[in-house]
Amino acid sequence: MTHPTSPVRPRTLLAGLAVAALTVGLAASPSEAAPKQPAERAESSRGFCTAWSRSTTRHLTLDEKVGQLFIQELYGPTATTRDARNVDFYGLETPAEIVQEYHLGGAIYFAWTDSVGGGPEQIAGLSNGLQEAALEGSTLDVPLWVGIDQEMGIVTRMGPPATQFPGAMAVAATRSTENARTAAAITGEELAAVGVNVNFAPDADVNVNPANPVIGVRSFSSDPQLAADFTAAQVQGLQDDAGLSAAAKHFPGHGDTAVDSHTGLPQITHTREEWEQIDRPPFEAAIEAGTDMIMTAHIVVPSLDPSGLPATLSKPILTDLLREEMGYEGLIITDSLQMAGVRQQFDDGEIAIRALEAGADQLLMSQDLPTAWNAVRDAVGTERLPKAELDAKVQRILKTKCDNGLVREPLVDESAVMDVVGDPEHLATAAEITDATHTLVENEAGLLPLDVDGTDVLVTGWGASTTANLGAELTARGATTTVRETGANPNETAITGAVTAAEDADVVVVLTNNAATSAAQQNLVRRLHATGTPVVTVAVRNPYDIAHLPDVHTYLATYSYSPVSVPSLARVLTGEVAPTGKLPVDIPAAGDPGTVLYPLGHGLTY
């Protein structure tokens, strides 16, 4: 694989600085600077950006400094859209007004905020509108972070026509860090084209708990070194190749939780030695790769801080461990402060102050921005948050924005967006990488590959669009296909209908999604096998499903139901492509984590 060679906004530096302006303490205008060649960037950029961020910090108002600490979700497809939800949350109608009133440091995009639903050109227009609002509202032309969670796979905000990839665990199944870097580079290049300059990725958690309800396939592996290698590769792809800022997450490691921090407060029981061996390596690798940001986790780790506070609010974890012991000099950003894991002990104002006191530089998605913003401002006034600490955080933020190239080039060319997003070469590369992700775990009867031409095939199980799309792919290859989607927890009617259809089919392909937690899915698979019709079981998310499906003898793990994964699955099922993926995790026996059914590295082919 090769990396994109023409990123939309590479990591540029600002040169041609008006030195005299800095000498007298004035912030130089970014428009006075010109980019240098790549070989000159690193050293010169550090010098200029350090000087610019220091000077700019000195001249920002207190309100502007406080605002730089916050990154918020904003409602509406354009910067000037009037949306009642903005009024409810912020007391203002439009995203532009909110950016200017609070001097925000950044915005984050979601489908539910209507930020990404109109396609790439709409996203680019929104990004430009928000940047223009920030520049107009700033005394010194400080641009915004525009962030997104584009991990790919199950956490994807910008869908087609943007190039899609399967998620972290799928890419790690290829065992190619080059694939990981290329996927990140293409993803980053397309995000940059629409004005996104921060991708809150990669996930650096080591998923050693198969029952983890929130990480799972978002993690590269249960092996710390494998996770570290792939984390570093994706940081390099996003930053060095595409010019974005990456955010390795969720420090100090969310991979061994049985509780979702969106809905509760998980506790990690690793000893300090276990943390060093399991959780630390990917974050160490991200730091060595130069990650601009590290995102905190709302988890309690008693071996690192016995106070009972979540890591997001823990000075021993964020300052003593991450900043001082590990030597991390980049930005520390919280995970969303709307999540239950950080909201069990304090109100929104106190959460914001304590996160900053703990060592965070930026606060993501306060539940009550007016309260949090004023609380932080008051904390500076009373010296609870010393002005020197505030300035240090703001300077780190500004320097990172400068290093990113954002200060010199905050806007994107809306007319050129579709020259980059969904580029045919990108799509072809994504398909090639995806073909290498699928892991054939069992093929005991030699059922695969399938010759579907002229064959009656039933496609059933989880996912309305996933089963329908797979059915269409098989039909295009000559099969007579019946599709009966049964859902995540199929009822008796759905199961009976699938079983009846299976009795009339030549072969069944059943898709599972987290069957470990669904007795109904397990029952469906068991009854399909009881028909005597040959059955291929495909886990389209967690590879661990097979441990709960004792009747299964033909089993594929795709780790993903991304739009790029289903056509690739069809190619593997029919033998157009041989499966070459290797398990990035151990699959333990159900109820007996000490017994490994299929070890990390297992994978068959044909």
Contacts of 290 (CB under 8 A, 6+ apart): 235, 236, 239, 240, 330
Q: What angle do CA 39, 40, 44 make, to 5 degrees?
A: 150
Residues near 476 by beta carbon (within 8 Å), at least 6 away in sequence: none
Please identify which residue in the block is written with the tokens 């070890």.
Answer: 599
Question: Contact, 398 vs 56, CB < 8 A?
Answer: yes
**Count of CB atoms situated within 10 Å of the CB of 601:** 13
Q: What is the phi-psi region of residue 209: left when phi exceeds 0, alpha when psi lies from -120 to 50, beta otherwise?
A: beta
Is residue 553 among the annotated active site residues? no
Distance, C-alpha 575 to centroid of its chain: 32
- Choose the catalytic residue: 262, 320, 456, 553: 262
Q: Are 48 and 80 in contact (CB under 8 A)?
A: no
Start-to-end CA distance of the chain, whole Å, equals: 23
Closest residue by Cα to residue 227 from 200, 188, 261, 255: 255
Q: Is the dihedral of CA 284, 286, 291, 294 positive or negative?
A: negative
414/548 Cα distance (integer angstroms) = 49
Which residue, among 68, 73, 69, 71, has the nearest Cα to 85 in the 3D structure?
A: 73
Q: For residue 419, give the H/E element and its range.
A: helix 417-420
Q: Could you confirm whether 548 is annotated as catalytic?
A: no
Interatomic CA distance for residues 21 and 554, integer angstroms: 70
User: How many Å apart are CA 118 and CA 111, to the nearest integer?
Assistant: 10
149, 203, 241, 335: the catalytic one is 335
User: Distances from the Cα of 25 to the Cαs of 28, 50, 56, 506, in angstroms?
Assistant: 9, 13, 9, 78
DSSP code string of 53-95 = HHHHHHHS-HHHHHHHTEEEE--SSSTT---HHHHHHHS-SSH
The pairing of strands 592-598 and 587-589 is antiparallel
Q: Catalytic site residues?
A: 262, 335
